[in-house]
């Protein structure tokens, strides 16, 4: 018969054994590696079921974060028919319903007869003009060089914009940062003429982008393309003011900047600052046709219309003609009726109203989530000043909860979804040991969903932490269900 002291000793030994140092010791990591495309790369193509996967030469690209996480959630009972029972804090989309101070949400659109035809691969001219005018009005007042429709290409989503740009880039070194938007991993893996050159950003320096370091890479290593999100997904940081001006100057010094600016409205004012500010490299470009700066943005985040898939690439005229050609074989162009419906939404007065409403609403949600995380003792080393993401550091949690994959799996048991940090470790070769990743001990939490969903997810975190406090680590890190085969849509 065991004694209380004996049980305590067993628990201590069991908890000590949770101090995993390799992927093979962790059930969550083994499940991840068994998923198609996530094995460490080798010479032979990867297969999950060799009897079925018989196409020679095919290499599975691996799933992006939300596909993998939604697939794992489905193994735990999640379905879109019953999604109200779950807290999805992994979604890379803002809430799409009404918010205070914003215009009514669109519920119907006009479909003129000619909109049933294909739209040009560069997009509807009137929408391209509206995009150009919005950038000029917001960022380029008084400047001699102004954008026109010839500087704008409409694309069916941000990934389509990235893919069009990547497809027309030659054999070059491409600088990128870690952590950053997970889809860059797939872009760099698929378009292999871009040779990836990583830079690991330092949390002790608030993940600040080092323009001086990048300039040295351009001058000494021959880096020709710099790819980054600004504001940054997932850390919620932003480059602005003189630092952004210095970054844009690289586009006049022998390199091309590809700037993903989808969160440009999600800028939260500090004490004494006004709502309604936004950020774009367009403010610091000298000549819109000479500076090698490419901007990608759209209706997805700022206008809170992710389902419309109407986005744009802004840059020099000669780039836009190249993107027209790449679009003809990559995606065929954006939805024609929705392009027409988007035109009035880009009116500068309307945009300013929406911007202020969005910032007030999302800042309140950010502050609410940060306060609740602090009450739970969860560390946010670098609080977000932009985007709708929180980059949560798990280092201080007891193992095995102190790594993103295991924390994610434990929350699935509580019907809550977050994104493990490893998906933001842009690692196209897939050779890095996950335990060595600088993103291994993080998860990304989205405060994009409505406040009710946020509280549901935070309550789930509280239950996991309370269980660990009361029971020790017995039962954590094990007993995970396998994923179903059916993939789901990716909206990271």
**Tens-binned pLDDT, residue by residue, of the chain (492 aa):** 455 544 554 454 455 445 666 777 888 888 887 776 666 655 444 444 554 455 676 666 666 677 889 899 999 999 888 788 999 999 899 999 999 999 999 999 999 999 999 999 999 999 999 999 999 999 999 999 999 999 999 999 999 999 999 999 999 999 999 999 999 998 998 898 999 999 999 999 999 999 999 999 999 999 999 999 999 999 999 999 999 999 999 999 989 999 999 999 999 998 889 999 999 999 999 999 999 999 999 999 999 999 999 999 999 999 999 999 999 999 999 999 999 999 999 999 999 999 999 999 999 999 999 999 999 999 899 999 999 999 999 999 999 999 999 999 999 999 999 999 999 999 887 777 888 899 999 999 999 999 999 999 999 999 999 999 998 988 898 889 876 544 444 444
Give the phi and the psi of residue 483 in degrees, each rounded to 5: -80, 150
Those residues whose C-beta lies under 8 Å from the C-beta of residue 291, and which sit 6 or more positions away, are 248, 251, 252, 285, 316
Cα 349 → chain centroid: 28
CA distance 178 to 182: 10
Decide if 424 contacts 339 (C-beta within 8 A).
no
CA distance 380 to 391: 7
**Residue 11 φ/ψ region, left for φ over 0, alpha for ψ in the -120 to 50 degree band, beta for the rest:** alpha
Buried-exposed string 304-326: b where 16+ CB fall within 10 A, e elsewhere: bbbebbbbbbbbbeebbebbbeb
Q: What is the pLDDT of residue 13?
A: 42
The β-bridge partners of 446 are 389
CA distance 395 to 442: 8
Decide if 192 contacts 166 (C-beta within 8 A).
no
**Cα dihedral sign, 408-409-411-415:** positive
Q: What is the pLDDT of residue 489?
A: 44
Those residues whose C-beta lies under 8 Å from the C-beta of residue 370, and which sit 6 or more positions away, are 380, 383, 390
Decide if 441 contacts 421 (C-beta within 8 A).
yes
**Residue 36 φ/ψ region, left for φ over 0, alpha for ψ in the -120 to 50 degree band, beta for the rest:** beta
CA distance 334 to 156: 4
CA distance 471 to 295: 51
Which has the closest alpha carbon to 34: 23, 44, 43? 23
Give the phi and the psi of residue 298 in degrees, each rounded to 5: 170, -170
Q: What is the pLDDT of residue 287?
A: 98
Q: What is the pLDDT of residue 11?
A: 55
Query: Measured between alpha carbons, how far is residue 162 from residues 51, 143, 257, 295 in Å?
Result: 35, 28, 12, 10
User: CA 319, 164, 218: angle at the middle one, nearest 5?
Assistant: 65
Those residues whose C-beta lies under 8 Å from the C-beta of residue 68, and which sit 6 or more positions away, are 32, 35, 38, 423
The β-bridge partners of 176 are 198
Give the phi and the psi of residue 456 in degrees, each rounded to 5: -60, -45
DSSP track, 203-248: GGGTT---HHHHHHIIIII-EEEEEEESSPTTT-----HHHHHHHH
Q: What is the pLDDT of residue 15?
A: 55
Residue the block writes with tokens 């986005």:
311
CA distance 19 to 13: 11
CA distance 468 to 10: 16
CA distance 337 to 310: 10
Decide if 220 contacts 254 (C-beta within 8 A).
no
CB atoms within 10 A of CB 200: 13
Sequence length of the chain is 492
Map 52-117 to HEC letters. CCCCCCCCCCCCCHHHHHHHHHHHCCCCHHHHHHCEECCCCCCCCCCCCCCCCCCCCCCCCHHHHC
3-state secondary structure of 174: strand
CB atoms within 10 A of CB 83: 14
Those residues whose C-beta lies under 8 Å from the C-beta of residue 164, and which sit 6 or more positions away, are 153, 155, 313, 323, 326, 327, 330, 331
């Amino acid at each position: 018969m065991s004694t209380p002291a004996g049980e305590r000793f067993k628990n201590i030994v069991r908890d000590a054994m949770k101090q995993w140092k390799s992927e093979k010791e962790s059930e969550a990591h083994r499940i991840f590696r068994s998923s198609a495309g996530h094995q460490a790369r080798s010479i032979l193509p990867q297969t999950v079921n060799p009897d079925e996967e018989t196409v020679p030469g095919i290499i599975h690209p691996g799933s992006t974060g939300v596909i993998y996480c939604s697939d794992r959630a489905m193994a735990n009972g999640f379905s879109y028919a019953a999604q109200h029972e779950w807290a999805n804090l992994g979604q890379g989309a803002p809430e799409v319903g009404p918010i205070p101070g914003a215009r009514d949400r669109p519920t119907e659109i006009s479909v003129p007869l000619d909109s049933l035809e294909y739209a040009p691969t560069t997009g509807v001219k009137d929408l391209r003009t509206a995009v150009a005018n919005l950038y000029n009005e917001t960022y380029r007042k008084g400047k001699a060089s102004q954008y026109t429709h010839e500087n704008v290409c409409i694309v069916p989503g941000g990934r389509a914009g990235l893919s069009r740009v990547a497809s027309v880039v030659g054999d070059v070194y491409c600088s990128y940062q870690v952590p950053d938007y997970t889809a860059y991993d797939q872009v760099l893996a698929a378009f292999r003429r871009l040779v990836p050159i990583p830079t690991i950003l330092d949390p002790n320096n608030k993940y600040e982008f080092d323009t001086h370091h990048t300039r040295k890479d351009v001058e000494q290593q021959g880096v020709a393309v710099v790819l980054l999100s600004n504001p940054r997904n997932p850390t919620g940081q932003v480059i602005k003011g003189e630092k952004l001006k210095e970054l844009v100057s690289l586009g006049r010094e022998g390199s091309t900047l590809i700037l993903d600016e989808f969160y440009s409205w999600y800028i939260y004012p500090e004490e004494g600052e006004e709502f309604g500010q936004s950020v774009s490299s367009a403010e610091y470009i000298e000549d819109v046709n000479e500076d090698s700066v490419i901007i990608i943005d759209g209706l997805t985040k700022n206008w809170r219309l992710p389902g419309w898939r109407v986005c744009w690439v802004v840059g020099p005229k000669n780039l836009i003609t190249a993107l027209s050609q790449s679009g003809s074989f990559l995606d065929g162009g954006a939805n024609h009726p929705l392009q027409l419906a988007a035109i009035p939404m880009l009116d500068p007065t309307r945009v300013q109203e929406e911007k202020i409403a969005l910032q007030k609403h999302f800042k309140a949600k950010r502050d609410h989530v940060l306060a609740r995380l602090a009450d739970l003792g969860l560390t946010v080393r670098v609080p977000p000043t932009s985007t709708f993401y929180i980059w949560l550091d798990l280092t201080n949690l007891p193992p095995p909860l102190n790594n993103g994959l295991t924390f994610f799996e434990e929350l699935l048991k509580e019907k809550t979804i977050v994104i493990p940090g490893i998906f933001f470790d842009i690692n196209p070769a897939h050779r890095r040991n996950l335990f060595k990743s600088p993103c291994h001990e993080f998860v990304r939490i989205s405060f994009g969903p409505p406040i009710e969903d946020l509280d549901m997810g935070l309550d789930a975190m509280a239950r996991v932490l309370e269980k660990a406090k009361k029971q020790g680590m017995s039962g954590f890190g094990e007993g995970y269900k396998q994923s179903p085969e059916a993939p789901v849509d990716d909206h990271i």
